[in-house]
Amino acid sequence: MRSWSAPRVPRLSDLGLAGPGPALRLYDSATRAVKATAPGPTARMYVCGITPYDATHLGHASTYLAFDLVNRVWRDLGHDVHYVQNATDVDDPLLERARAIGVDWRDLAEREIELFRTDMEALRVLPPDQYVGAVEAIPMIIEMIAELKSAGLTYELDGDLYFPVTADPRFGEVSGLSAAEMLPLFAERGGDPARPGKKDPLDALLWLARRPGEPGWESPFGVGRPGWHIECSAISIRHLGMGFDVEGGGSDLTFPHHEFSASHAQAATGEAPHAKTYVHAGMVGLDGEKMSKSRGNLVFVSKLRAAGTDPMAIRLALLAHHYRTDWEWTAPHLDEAAARLARWRAAVTRPTAPPAAPVAAEVRAALAADLDAPTALAALDRWSTTEGPDPSSPTQIQSLTDTLLGITL
Ligand code: 5CA
Ligand code: ZN
């Protein structure tokens, strides 16, 4: 699929603010510790994309901004970044929503993906190099399921194909959860633990035989469609290979989605790990609940934009929270961000200001420490409210906020 257009990113070394900053450290869900990412010349990142039926709410935006910071920090450190993202353009919730509103599921997906692209562009999120829909990936998904099947790592149940958790000895390492902890999450997040005939309640669906009124594709396992986890497993390893640097998503993807994506990939290739670091963003809530399509408590980026909100204020409002914390969206967050944006914009029009280099060092250090954007914003706040003698500093700071935070002043 078409990705979205890339914003211009100034090179700080051309502006007298050469790095490099410290190596990027991120909290890894699998080891439950902050650890240094150590990419090669090309850093490889896979971030789970939207299921396109209610894009783009502020929870989505917040998660994609976190990984946009990863992308920006790696680039600032001199890496190329190979970034892949999917869009789950066929799955139960999309089909259900399309049925409920009487729209063809393909039209719904296309419309929502286009809206998402527009929102990402407005928020200056760097686009993935490959933006891959589940539907277009079906041939590679079928290939991977066939590999698992021929290795004896699948079983059939009434025409559907399952992946037994016993197929990967490392199953459980991404989330670190016990089976008792996994079960309710599995039921809540698209799994089918109660289905009779499964060898283990946690076994995951790889291929679902076509149901009446639903789409299906020809495959060696019959006409049907892929399960959710094999989608991201196949897309990530076909485009990035095993052992890529970061797999990302919101914390609700830790289990079962990233656990099973890893197990499918590890079982199919005999290699491990799927990703070196599993990174998860906190959930944005509204009125005491996680913002989600099913709860219907959504604040949309496009609606805020249509009401005249500067996308840079939305971006600043989201970056004011550490990416790993769960937090609640309220309208004053946006007012505070708009006020901060106005202060910064006024500050870069000053003829002179305090030198930019120490601010660049602070911002780089903060972001490298598990993406501590709030501390980075505080450093810029101090700069914007302090007098100084340096005439080149205002334009340097303008580039700094653009390059590292994606905020244009
Ligand atoms: N298509 C799958 C991933 S393969 C999916 O989870 N789609 S989604 O549209 O439901 O979510 C897209 C991304 O936004 C996921 O990383 C999810 O964890 C994240 N997300 C969803 N709701 C929130 C929220 N309230 N706060 C923060 N992130 C969220
Ligand atoms: Zn995914």
Categorize the per-residue pLDDT at 43 as very low, low, confident or very high, splitting at 50, 70 and 90.
Answer: very high
Ligand 2 centroid – CA 107 distance (Å):
21
Whether the pLDDT of residue 296 is over 80: the answer is no
Cβ-Cβ contacts under 8 Å for 180 (sequence gap 6 or more): none
Whether the pLDDT of residue 291 is over 80: the answer is no
pTM of the predicted protein model: 0.97
How do residues 106-163 score in pLDDT, each as one tens digit?
Answer: 999 999 999 999 999 999 999 999 999 999 999 999 999 999 999 999 999 999 999 9
Q: Where are the alpha helices (DSSP H) in 151-256?
A: 179-188, 228-240
Residues in the chain: 409
Nearest-angstrom CA–CA distance, 165 and 260:
8
Spatial CA neighbour of 367 closest among 335, 401, 398: 401
Report the pLDDT value the prediction gives residue 298, as an integer from 0 to 100: 87
Indicate the average pLDDT of the chain: 97
Residue pointed to by tokens 């280099």: 357
Nearest-angstrom CA–CA distance, 85 and 90:
15
- Which of 48-52, 65-69, 209-213, 289-293 is least confident? 289-293
Report the pLDDT value the prediction gives residue 409, as an integer from 0 to 100: 98
SS (H, E, C) 194-220: CCCCCCCCCCEEEEEECCCCCCCECCC
Report the pLDDT value the prediction gives residue 294, as an integer from 0 to 100: 67
Categorize the per-residue pLDDT at 287 as very low, low, confident or very high, splitting at 50, 70 and 90.
Answer: confident
Residue nearest to atom 20 of ligand 1 (CA): 60
How do residues 9-18 score in pLDDT, each as one tens digit?
Answer: 999 988 999 8
- Tell whether ligand 1 has an atom less than 6 A from the beta carbon of residue 55: no
Percentage above 70 pLDDT, the chain: 99
Nearest-angstrom CA–CA distance, 379 and 363:
7
* Probe target for ligand 1 pocket from 60, 86, 131, 246, with the most ligand atoms within 8 Å of CB: 60
- Tell whether ligand 1 has an atom less than 6 A from the beta carbon of residue 71: no
DSSP track, 228-258: HHHHHHHHHHHHH-SSEEEEEEEGGGIIIII
Whether the pLDDT of residue 101 is over 90: the answer is yes
- Tell whether ligand 1 has an atom less than 6 A from the beta carbon of residue 48: yes
Cis peptide leading into residue 226 (ω within 30°): no
How do residues 176-200 score in pLDDT, each as one tens digit?
Answer: 999 999 999 999 999 999 999 999 9
What atom in ligand 1 is closest to the CA of residue 248?
16
Whether the pLDDT of residue 351 is over 90: the answer is yes
- Tell whether ligand 1 has an atom less than 6 A from the beta carbon of residue 249: yes
Which residues, listed in sequence order, are joined to residue 161 by a DSSP beta bridge? Answer: 156, 207
Spatial CA neighbour of 89 closest among 255, 225, 267: 225
Report the pLDDT value the prediction gives residue 293, as an integer from 0 to 100: 66
Pairing of strands 42-47, 80-87: parallel
Whether the pLDDT of residue 354 is over 70: the answer is yes
Residue pointed to by tokens 């277009």: 136
Which residue type, as a one-letter code, is found at position 249? G
Packing angle of the helix pair 58-76, 357-368 (nearest 10 deg): 120
Residue nearest to atom 14 of ligand 1 (CA): 60
Residue 120: left if φ>0, alpha if ψ -120 to 50, beta else—which one?
A: alpha
Report the pLDDT value the prediction gives residue 20, as an integer from 0 to 100: 87
What atom in ligand 1 is closest to the CA of residue 52?
9
Categorize the per-residue pLDDT at 297 as very low, low, confident or very high, splitting at 50, 70 and 90.
Answer: confident
Backbone torsions φ then ψ of 366, nearest 5 degrees:
-65, -50
Nearest-angstrom CA–CA distance, 359 and 68:
20
Nearest-angstrom CA–CA distance, 372 and 54:
29
Q: Is 94 exposed, middle or buried (0-12, 13-18, 19+ CB in 10 A)?
A: buried
Spatial CA neighbour of 204 closest among 189, 216, 218, 217: 189
What atom in ligand 1 is closest to the CA of residue 285?
25
Report the pLDDT value the prediction gives residue 332, as an integer from 0 to 100: 93
Give me the mean pLDDT over the 276-287 stretch. Answer: 94
* Probe target for ligand 1 pocket from 252, 257, 291, 327, with the most ligand atoms within 8 Å of CB: 252
